Chains A and B, each alone.
Chain A
Amino acid sequence: MAKKRVVSTTINGKAVELLCEPRQTLLEVLRDNLDLTGTKEGCSNGNCGACTVLMNGRPVVSCLVLAMEAEGATLETIEGVAKGGDLDPIQQAFLENAALQCGICTPGFIMSTKALLAENPNPTEQEARFYLAGNLCRCTGYDKIIRAVLDSAQRRLSTQAAAQGGNHSS
């Protein structure tokens, strides 16, 4: 067996050292070595997007990344999205718009939405649908998910506007 190696990476803001085999995918290491089981395994061939995480700010499917490649990288997983006990506006919008049934695809959708809104804070419905084409849901159809995505964009924008308004008045 190929020798295990140490990989130094940052996951959800914490420096992490991992001992892993070259053949292990990032998805396997997150779930099996680190117990970060919020990232889901769907198809394991890059089609479904359930295992989406952010690697250096970009959405990637962790089933098609070798853990070795995470050396020096900054990773964000679903476990890092809520801050303390507070859900992120994206999570809140998914909850309130009932944008999930079985929930397997949801962490992937939330990570892709996070990347979308970082790039394009106020997407049109079409832009959102195209951006999220690499995330599949087999329960709900996509209407509620897209509604939640557009709603989370509005929540983020109004939170930011309120914060800026607050700064002006202070």
Chain B
Amino acid sequence: MRDFDYSAPTSVAEAVRLLNQNPGAGRPMSGGTDLIDQIRLGRHQPDLVVDIKRIPELNILELSSRGLRLGSAVPCCRIYGDPGISADYAALVDSARIIGGIQIQSRASVGGNLCNSGPAADSIPSLIALGARAVIAGPSGMREVPVEEFCTGPGKNILQRGEVLVELRFPPRAPHSGSHYRRFIPRNEMDIAVVSVGAVVELEANGDKIRSARIALGAVGPTPLYAREASQILVGKTPGPEAFDLAAKAAQAITTPIDDMRGTKEFRRHVAGVLVHRALEECVQRARKLA
């Protein structure tokens, strides 16, 4: 592997300083499950790897009445190991359970999955659907960005040189709401999404109308997508096949899938509709169960 130096700072300020001292040549690493392979393949050529896992703020996992704070270095296994998070942020847990195999989940973080910015990244549709915001530290201070504005292209995002993702902040789960993430893959596990959907549905207190919804799509465009129109179309509708079909059609309309060995454009667009439908059904069931 390429020669590089390694540093494991214990504060955000130190990490930012190290990354700025090595402009363009420093690379933050959390679980390393993407980065180490990419260095080996020459896709990234850092002179310095900044291991951010020893920074306490980046390991925060805190569920409170104000919502969820998820440090950018928290590995997937800690997320699905937490019963409170499993109930309130089910879509996030659905994602964390299927990113790679068990060995990857011991190390890979949702923050890293976001920063790697793959179009088929399993956590990003859930982050968008759940309304997560990315908290970023850089040489000129902190800034906060909604996750749907984070990715700009395959492997590309808004992070500037010297910036580090600190945490993801989620609003509290609304009463009578449920969330779900699902993907299509040709096998049962350990695969890259051909198409994926993350969704949240909030019902009115009596459960017969949809109060709000957020739908996000993966692997059908250069970045994961927030399906704004598909989400808004559901407001005030009775949860059921008719409303879900409308949302599925609106979601399909914003897809710009590619043909590759995992699926054709037509197949991906079709499956996106099917998955929106199924994801919404599951969201409603979960919303009713949780109240």
Contacts and interface: CB of A to CB of B under 8 A. Distances in A.
Interface residues of B, number: 26
Q: Is the interface of A mostly helix, strand, loop or mixed?
A: mixed
A5 B103 CA distance: 26
B3 interface: yes
Interface stretch (B31-39, B246-254, B273-281): B31-39
A13 B104 CA distance: 24
A163 B57 CA distance: 44
Contacts of A132: 102
Contacts of A135: 101
Contacts of A130: 188-189
Interface of B is mostly: loop
Interface in B1-22: 1-6, 8
B106 interface: yes
Interface in A13-58: 21-25, 44-47, 49, 52, 55, 58
A71 interface: yes
Contacts of B103: 46, 49, 52, 59-61, 112, 134
A133 B102 contact: yes
B36 A66 contact: yes
A2 B32 CA distance: 19
Nearest to A71: B8
Contact of B32 (A21, A52, A69): A69
Q: Size range of the interface on A? A: 35 or more
A73 to B, nearest CB: 11
Interface string A87-129: 0000000000000000000000000100110000000000000
Contacts of B2: 23
B190 interface: yes
A68 B104 contact: no
B100 interface: yes
Interface of B: 1-6, 8, 32-33, 36-37, 40, 49, 51, 53, 77, 100-104, 106-107, 188-190
13 contacts: A5-B6, A44-B40, A58-B77, A59-B103, A60-B103, A61-B33, A64-B32, A66-B6, A66-B49, A69-B8, A115-B102, A116-B102, A134-B102
